[in-house]
Amino acid sequence: MTAPLTDNVWTRRGINVLWDGAALARIGPVSGVISLRRFFELDQARWPEEATPLTGGEALVVAGLDAAIDALDAETVTHWIEQELYPRIQEFQSVFDGRRALIFWMADKSRWLENTGKGCFEWRLGCGNQGQLLPLASLLWNGAHKDVRRIEASAEKGANRWIGLYLARIS
């Protein structure tokens, strides 16, 4: 595992997952968050700059990935991420040449698990899949999960709070 990220570069660059509401609010208005469906539409339209709502001017925040994953069975979700979602993530990164952040808002932190033994982050699937673990970080970042960094925010007392996951670039 790499060292945690404690600065705010994730608000401007990278492919990220965020679950902290306070951190989301600091980026910009929540009204700028788009649906996963809209993310797919923007990709289909080839990312028109005037129609791509960047929160804070530098981040595209997408909600609904967790709901889409929960709607699929464990076998289908892996195929869907690899064949449908990942190419769109790659295209976003390519079009904006890594100068913008893509942030997937997934509000339930309790479903993310850090498997230090395997060096990866996993997502606990919804009840229809009996709580199976999905190697979601590996799927989202095309196997670059070893370079994924925990995004941490300073806590008033004690250890930093884990608020998300960050990867600078996918290959």
111-143: per-residue pLDDT in tens?
999 988 888 899 998 876 667 899 999 999 988
pLDDT tens per residue across span 39-60? 999 999 999 988 999 988 899 9
- Token code pair at residue 95: 């079009």
Cβ 108 vs Cβ 96: under 8 Å:
no
In this prediction, residue 146 carries a pLDDT of 79
For tokens 């401007």, what's the residue?
12
Among residues of the chain, what percentage have pLDDT more than 70? Answer: 97
In angstroms, the CA 132 to CA 81 distance is 16
Instruction: Enter the pTM of the model.
Output: 0.94
Burial class (CB in 10 A: 0-12, 13-18, 19+), 81: buried
In angstroms, the CA 9 to CA 43 distance is 24
In this prediction, residue 1 carries a pLDDT of 59
| Whether the predicted pLDDT of 155 surpasses 70 | yes
Three-state DSSP at 71 gives coil
What mean pLDDT comes out for the span 66-80?
91
